[in-house]
Amino acid sequence: DGDLRPEGKQFRLENVVIRNTPEDFADGRMQASGALTLHGISLRGFDLRFNGQLQVLREDSSRLMGQAFYGDLTAETGPQGLSWQGDLERSLLKGTVLIRNAQITLPPERESPRYSVRLIDVIRAQDPKQSTARLEVTEEPSSATPTAPPETRKPSFVDRIDFDLVVQTQGNTQVRFVFNRQTNDVLFADLRGRMGFQRDPSSMRLTGEVEVTNRSYYNFLKRFGATGKIMFTG
């Protein structure tokens, strides 16, 4: 919602607000300001500012087959807001993003893998007279079929956005890594920290420190505690 006011070769943004629908997140509101520069009727460039908070991910609407991750995510801009400058060929998004609430799940790469079962006879050496036991070993078959080389994909508009962001936790931030649903092989991480993320056409860097709090655990047949710190240096 808002207005575009023509001013020479520009359209300036006035009273522009991006909102979540009230039934999704009543407090989701972000103000946008800045200008769009035109060349004829084509967009030549933009210089925009954003300030506020939005729910950017919701589990019941983001959980799709093949999705890299899903869950709930609410983020807020830092005190200086976010700036986004550039054009359709190259742009830079810069600022601080505060994670107010995040409950993200990263599912296995394949939701329904195929498994084979082979049977192994197990005999106790101490007492050969005892009845043998049969052990079932479940394994995922390897594929001998060579995979075709990936097709060259033309860079999209999002691929041409550079980033210079600071991402900091400000509230509940939890991530579940699901490695195998059949064995309930799961890492649950409750996180706190601050990281810098920079990406341009030649490189991508992630720097900072994340604390894995004592509410975290790794589950595989039994539950193990998981705590510590993770350092990102590049």
For residue range 76-134, what is the model confidence (pLDDT) as tens digits?
Answer: 999 999 999 999 999 999 999 999 999 999 988 765 545 555 666 666 666 656 555 55
Q: What's the average model confidence in pLDDT over 127-149?
A: 59
End-to-end C-alpha distance for the chain, whole angstroms: 39
Whether residue 146 has pLDDT greater than 70: no
Residue (of 211, 212, 205) closest to 166 by Cα position: 205
pLDDT tens track for 47-78: 999 999 999 998 877 677 667 889 999 999 99
Place of tokens 């006879």: 121
- Give the pair of three-digit tokens for residue 12: 């300036």
Rounded Cα gap, residues 231 and 207, in angstroms: 7
Long-range contacts of the stretch 74-80 (C-beta < 8 A, 24+): 74/25, 74/28, 74/99, 74/100, 74/101, 74/102, 74/171, 75/99, 75/100, 76/52, 76/100, 76/170, 77/30, 77/50, 77/51, 77/52, 77/53, 78/166, 78/168
Place of tokens 């092989």: 185
Backbone angles phi, psi at 100, to 5 degrees: -80, -40
Give the per-residue pLDDT at 194. Answer: 97
DSSP structure class, residue 146 = P
Give the per-residue pLDDT at 118. Answer: 62
Whether residue 144 has pLDDT greater than 70: no
Query: How many other C-beta atoms are found inside a 10 Å radius of the C-beta of residue 32?
Result: 19
pLDDT tens track for 25-48: 999 999 999 999 998 888 999 999
Give the per-residue pLDDT at 108. Answer: 85
Task: Please report which confidence band the pLDDT of residue 139 belongs to, taking 50, 70 and 90 as the band edges.
Answer: low
Give the per-residue pLDDT at 92. Answer: 97
Give the per-residue pLDDT at 153. Answer: 79
pLDDT tens track for 153-211: 788 888 899 999 999 999 999 999 999 888 889 999 999 999 999 999 999 999 999 99
Give the per-residue pLDDT at 115. Answer: 52
Residue 197 CB-half CA count within 13 A: 14
The runs of H, that is alpha helices, within 25-179 are 59-62
Give the per-residue pLDDT at 149. Answer: 73
Give the per-residue pLDDT at 119. Answer: 67
Give the per-residue pLDDT at 199. Answer: 95
